[in-house]
Amino acid sequence: MAEETFLDRAAKYSYQELERLGGDPSKLELPLQTVAVLYAVQPIIENGGFRYLFETDMPFCPPYSTFSDAYRRIGATQAAEFLDRAVAMFPFEKPHQQQQKRLDFMDSLEEDHEMFELGDQVCVDKTVWSNLEEYARKHAASFYFV
């Protein structure tokens, strides 16, 4: 069994705080929110690209900018830009709140559509994890297990 990393412990602490605050990530301090959000979102993208992310209604349906802002905070600017570009392709307002419309729109796209190609780029971007670990370490004082 692999040893628990600092990032794993930071995520565990972030999720404990998230649960304590009722599950709304916007109530977390920014370092905890960043870790909690990306620790949840990046594996979804790695498993199925932006299609999987957009198929899923995240708890409390935060705007997708919550995720791209978190990517920017850790220095993963390309991932943030790709996500913002993909979200902008939805032909309706507030796609984070309209799961069925998202599904219908994605079903209308070809497999090689730019939206999915952008997600594939984020899927293989392994720097997200190292950046997130570095970010968590820089904000270690926010994670009270330290």
The answer to whether position 103 is within a domain reads yes
The answer to whether position 65 is within a domain reads yes
The answer to whether position 121 is within a domain reads yes
Whether the CB-CB separation of 32 and 143 falls below 8 Å is answered with yes
Return the ∠ at Cα 85 (arms to 81 and 89), rounded to 5°. 170
CATH of the domain at 26: 1.20.1420
Work out the average pLDDT over 51-73: 95
Domain count within the chain: 1
Torsion angle of C-alpha atoms 73, 76, 78, 84, degrees rounded to 10: -40
Q: Is the pTM of this model over 0.85?
A: yes
The answer to whether position 48 is within a domain reads yes
The answer to whether position 124 is within a domain reads yes
The CA radius of gyration of the chain, in Å to the nearest whole number, is 15
Q: Which domain holds residue 88?
A: 6-142
Phi, psi of 107 (to 5 degrees): -65, -25
75: left (phi over 0), alpha (psi -120 to 50) or beta: left
The answer to whether position 1 is within a domain reads no
The answer to whether position 109 is within a domain reads yes
The answer to whether position 19 is within a domain reads yes
**pLDDT tens by residue, 68-108:** 999 999 999 999 999 999 999 999 999 999 999 999 999 99
**pLDDT tens by residue, 108-144:** 999 999 999 999 999 999 899 999 999 999 999 999 8
**pLDDT tens by residue, 28-40:** 999 999 999 999 9
pLDDT band at 146 (very low <50, low <70, confident <90, very high): low
